[in-house]
Structure 1
Amino acid sequence: MSELSLKVLAAGSLRAVWQPLMTSFTLQSGIEVDTRFGPAGLLRESIEQGERPDLFASANIAHPQRLKALGLASRVEVFTRNRLCLTARKELLAAQPSWLALLGNRALKVGTSTPLADPSGDYTWQLFDTLERHHAGLGEYLQQSSLKLVGGPASQSVPNGELAAAWLIRGGQCDLFVGYASYARRLRLCKDLAVIDIPENYNIQADYAFAQCYEAANPLSDFLLSTAAQEILFREGFARNL
């Protein structure tokens, strides 16, 4: 890449916020950014197999830390955070307004991202582990019965412009979907869907971190930690990196 252009690999859950972030960065620095999105676990594998981005923005810190341990990244830092939420067909709430009752209803299909390939799936499995500790049998049932619908090597691609939870529920692939809370604001605009917050004592914190692979990406790394970037991330449903 030229000194005025950077190659980035970024977690798919950053797609919506990445455009305003990179627009602001380019206006500030004059540096263009070419970004490819995908499940963070699969992107990390592509780097291990020889792909060489300037920076990798991951939906968890474990993947950047692994790259640093392998000598494939020089700088790793958390730049924002996320949480999980539950999305359901709105009519389901009339009979079962509780998120626990919905997850425990064995007549309903629960959709998730794919663990190991996609951090959203990893965080969801952590949520199920927490549920198992509080409600014996529930977490184990969900791990065995949930449908891994997105984020895997063989998963269907979510159409451009679609929100995964809305697309999957409306298409009948699941009745409920466990996904990132950063999508909640846009999902709440869907009149046929309901977004249910997961209480803090059950929820999982998702630490988003970058792996800087080349010195050329230092301005972008610094920008992601800046007040300007943090405000854009917060506006789009992510947490400020305090």
Structure 2
Amino acid sequence: MQLKVHAAKQLLSVIPACFVLIALAPAQAQPARIPAHVYAAGSLVAPLTQAIRVAGFGATDIADPTFGPSGGLRERIERGEAADLYLSANMEHPRRLAAQRPKTLVIPFARNNLCLISRDAVGLTQANAIDKMLDPNMRLATSTPGIDPGGDYAFAVFKRAEKVRAGAEAALSRKALRLIGGPTAMAPIDGHTPPASIFLADQADILLSYCSGDEQILSEVPGLEVSRLPPEIDVVATYGLALLTDNPAAARLALFLLSDKGQDILARNGLARIVPGEQ
């Protein structure tokens, strides 16, 4: 709870007094609202959409969010695109933006894990996960490192696999098909998510992706199964938000995501809550 209280104080401290005066002024004296522009990781589509609705935001408060690979979104913001709140699947990209903007706040707000999604015929289990990923007959897909944090986490899994099986990191890095985010990503099939599209187009046998999206991909593609990674190669993804401006709606949305209600929504969508005191 201490983290949420501290985060709330941080966020409130960046809202200038002028916004408080505007809120207290008669309705007829208030200027037109400027909708907050939110840039968010693609893995947050469902929970963020729900959070905006449950929190009671309207189109005049929050513009339609822009979703995509966190690294690509960061680059767009660096090139000058207007964003008030940035929600990344890692902490590194928000911190890079904050390094250029001294008043920017960076706060962890959720966690995730990676799972292995495969066709039933592969017979993949937590126990044989390393063997199946290394099998030269198995096409292994990941996100693109650098552009999509999912790819960075996948390659962190490969690095851990090296400690279990000599030569695993090089072999897995070499065979990984970077099919989500980046220049070699395949275009999603209309009406389907990028992970589901990979299997619908028969581009991979195994996909290393966020566990939070497992229910969605299973609903889109029949004949798939999901397996957790062995503990010795598992990694934890920490999601971070960056409040880039003093837009009050952006600050309120950030606070909502850190609140009990916001954390409940994230948890219902497969993400893990932030434990107070952790970074």
Q: Same fold (TM over 0.5)?
A: yes
Asked if structure 2 preserves the Cα contact closer than 8 Å seen for 1:80 and 1:209, the reply is yes
Asked if structure 1 preserves the Cα contact closer than 8 Å seen for 2:178 and 2:184, the reply is no
Q: After the TM superposition, which residues 33-44 of structure 1 pair with which residues of structure 2 at under 5 Å, given as runs? A: 33-44=63-74
| 1:224 matched to 2:257 | yes
Structure 2 vs 1, CA of residues 94 and 226 (structure 1 numbering), >3 Å: closer, same or farther?
Answer: closer
By percentage of residues, which structure has more strand?
1
Asked if structure 1 preserves the Cα contact closer than 8 Å seen for 2:126 and 2:229, the reply is no
| 1:234 matched to 2:264 | no
Tell me the SS of whatever aligns to 1:128.
helix
Tell me the SS of whatever aligns to 2:141.
strand
Compute the displacement of 1:72 (Å): 7.0
Deviations 1:162-194 (A, max 9, x none): 233332123121111000000122334444001
1:196 aligned to which of 227, 249, 253: 227
Partner Cα distance (1:195, 1:103) in 2: 14
Supply the AA of the counterpart residue of 2:90.
N
Structure 2 vs 1, CA of residues 79 and 130 (structure 1 numbering), >3 Å: closer, same or farther?
Answer: same
Structure 2 vs 1, CA of residues 161 and 203 (structure 1 numbering), >3 Å: closer, same or farther?
Answer: farther
| 1:3 matched to 2:33 | yes
| 1:186 matched to 2:207 | no
Partner Cα distance (1:18, 1:104) in 2: 35
Asked if structure 2 preserves the Cα contact closer than 8 Å seen for 1:118 and 1:152, the reply is yes
2:107 aligned to which of 42, 52, 77: 77
- Which consecutive residues of structure 2, in runs of 5 or more, have no partner in the other structure? 1-31
1:118 aligned to which of 120, 141, 148: 148
Report what 1:174 is aligned to.
Answer: 204
Moved more, 18-27 or 59-68: 18-27
Structure 2 vs 1, CA of residues 188 and 34 (structure 1 numbering), >3 Å: closer, same or farther?
Answer: closer
Supply the AA of the counterpart residue of 2:144.
T
Asked if structure 1 preserves the Cα contact closer than 8 Å seen for 2:127 and 2:230, the reply is no
Compute the displacement of 1:159 (Å): 3.1
2:128 aligned to which of 91, 98, 103: 98
Compute the displacement of 1:135 (Å): 0.8
Partner Cα distance (2:174, 2:266) in 1: 34
Supply the AA of the counterpart residue of 2:155.
W
Compute the displacement of 1:63 (Å): 0.4
Tell me the SS of whatever aligns to 1:6.
coil
Partner Cα distance (1:202, 1:169) in 2: 24
- Which consecutive residues of structure 1, in runs of 5 or more, have no partner in the other structure? none
Higher Cα Rg, which structure: 2
Compute the displacement of 1:160 (Å): 4.8
The root-mean-square deviation of aligned C-alpha atoms, in Å, is 2.2
Partner Cα distance (2:145, 2:263) in 1: 28
Q: After the TM superposition, which residues 19-38 of structure 1 pair with which residues of structure 2 at under 5 Å, given as runs? A: 19-27=49-57, 31-38=61-68
1:16 aligned to which of 46, 53, 59: 46
Q: Report sequence identity in percent.
A: 34
Compute the TM-score of the two structures, normalised by the length of structure 2. 0.80
Report what 1:68 is aligned to.
Answer: 98
Report what 1:215 is aligned to.
Answer: 246
Moved more, 92-101 or 169-178: 92-101
Compute the TM-score of the two structures, normalised by the length of structure 1. 0.92
Supply the AA of the counterpart residue of 1:7.
H
